[in-house]
Structure 1
């Protein structure tokens, strides 16, 4: 990978536009050329109407032709159904997820297991690592990105040297390594993905969350360090996962009692798997209060005697 000594601010070609959405919804990447208007990732279900409005405004009367999902976590595909209702667009998903979506197999899809929601959607085609797709006037290579999610993909365009990294690489980290919570391998896969990114000539990364960034080498150094820290003790990944899922839910519902948190833990399989790596089930109510206290100290939530709520001003 080539890097300037002082990397420039992240700049993108005019055919690529990023809607930075915060954390509850993933970023949406709009790629427009003469033949196709495409959107990569569609945000969370509670923001679906806003996603449609953003795309409508940006396209100024033109139709959306294509949806591409890097992976099928709820914050990346939650707007699919609403966008499909607005426009009869093709929808391309990772091939490895096709059977689960076709059957709407909620045991294999992650929505219930994480305590989240996603309106049922259809797809018209699939993408596999090694495939190529033209979006925004550029040819993109599809790259497998297991680690955070076994089926996840990235998109890389050599022409503008742009990488759409989804949750495989953020400017300050990467997404929760979910497979490790359920006894599968994920740390090794995440390292392999970081190694693959390091071999690419990347000028700008468009992450799944956060602003596009240019200093890829520094981001990779932080990601490698975090991965080493997480993989040194599996409990660290489990604890991080529970904290992420609690805060994610609070961003949606704004307030929860401790009883509601305990119900969520009981019903969400991935959360249960994480908690099992941390403490005996009889102590889970105390565990939830302990995690809430740590999140409160960091400012991620506000804790009271009976429950938790999102801080004022947190979107």
Structure 2
């Protein structure tokens, strides 16, 4: 049974390529997160169907990973909606610095969009006739935000807490702290009297205590050996590309991984793949190719073993 949400609040549960969208109605309409760019037509269709002839007044992003804001440009073009983003990302968005944002590093797409306002921890905003607290949620993304409605006990968690885990802890791949930040965010969520969580991916859930316990267990597992977080990141990035493209030529996998900057950070942490030593600092092109070839082979095997992909002749195909 789906947990009860306020009447002014509707969740579009999306596939994992796109983040969930949260639509608010009332005196003013608003959408939290906009999905990935290749799903933008579907996002527009969902919003238009729900709003009928009403405009979309506001757009809010929990964080600026491409699967959460890839539909921003399309929604802005269709509705001219007032857009609020995390304050810490404002200069990067204003300059459209794809290197400072995550799009170039992860090999993902995001059309340029603008913004009208910023949100920072400690702010409050009204959505669907309800007051929402803005809280910081570093870990998966250093500048991510939570939205919490104390009156209804509803938490919009983005990728800080899912029913079974949380988003990849990307800062650790760049040699920046992320494990402690993730734990602090989980601790913060534990202090809130949340009865329902709307995650960035997956279904809305009300077993908040159970979800936190699973998240802490996952964090303990990843932080006890940072290689595990790096391996998980590689698998997630390849799966994301499969979701987007549906199939990738096996012969292209090493070059594809080498073209994604964040994978280099993962490679340094992985250290060994299928028994082969991996040294990201190796300057010899043949050795570097071998490293990425080994990583591609490992990632392919891991995804097939997890039934997240299958091999069809020369292709790695999404399951």
- 1:98-109 aligned at under 5 Å gives the runs 98-109=90-101
Shift of 1:148: 0.1
1:291 aligns with 2:291: no
Give the corresponding residue for 1:212. Answer: 204
Q: Out of 266-275 and 101-110, give the one that drifted further.
A: 266-275
* Residue 25 of structure 1, aligned match among 4, 18, 43: 18
Measure, in 1, the Cα distance between the counterparts of 2:2 and 2:244.
32
Give the corresponding residue for 2:310. Answer: 302
Shift of 1:37: 0.4
* Residue 43 of structure 1, aligned match among 35, 49, 57: 35
Measure, in 2, the Cα distance between the counterparts of 1:271 and 1:283.
11
Give the corresponding residue for 1:154. Answer: 146
Instruction: Tell me the alpha carbon deviations over residues 29-49 of structure 1, each in whole angstroms, 9 at most, x when there is no partner.
Output: 001111x10000000000001
Q: Is the 8 A contact 1:171 1:207 kept in 2?
A: yes
1:121 aligns with 2:148: no
Give the corresponding residue for 1:222. Answer: 214
Give TM-score scaled by structure 2 length. Answer: 0.93
* Residue 4 of structure 2, aligned match among 3, 11, 16: 11
Instruction: Tell me the alpha carbon deviations over residues 175-221 of structure 1, each in whole angstroms, 9 at most, x when there is no partner.
Output: 00000000000000000000000000011000000111001000000
Secondary structure (helix, strand or coil) at the match of 2:270 reads: coil
Measure, in 2, the Cα distance between the counterparts of 1:189 and 1:86.
37
Unaligned residue ranges in structure 1 (runs of 5+): 1-7
Shift of 1:261: 2.1
Q: Out of 40-49 and 112-121, give the one that drifted further.
A: 112-121
Measure, in 2, the Cα distance between the counterparts of 1:211 and 1:194.
19
Secondary structure (helix, strand or coil) at the match of 1:71 reads: coil
Aligned CA-pair RMSD: 1.1
Measure, in 2, the Cα distance between the counterparts of 1:118 and 1:259.
26
Give the corresponding residue for 2:64. Answer: 72
Q: Is the 8 A contact 1:180 1:187 kept in 2?
A: yes
Q: Is the 8 A contact 1:293 1:303 kept in 2?
A: no
Give TM-score scaled by structure 1 length. Answer: 0.94
Higher RCO (CA-CA < 8 Å; seq separation 6+): 1
Q: Out of 159-168 and 249-258, give the one that drifted further.
A: 249-258
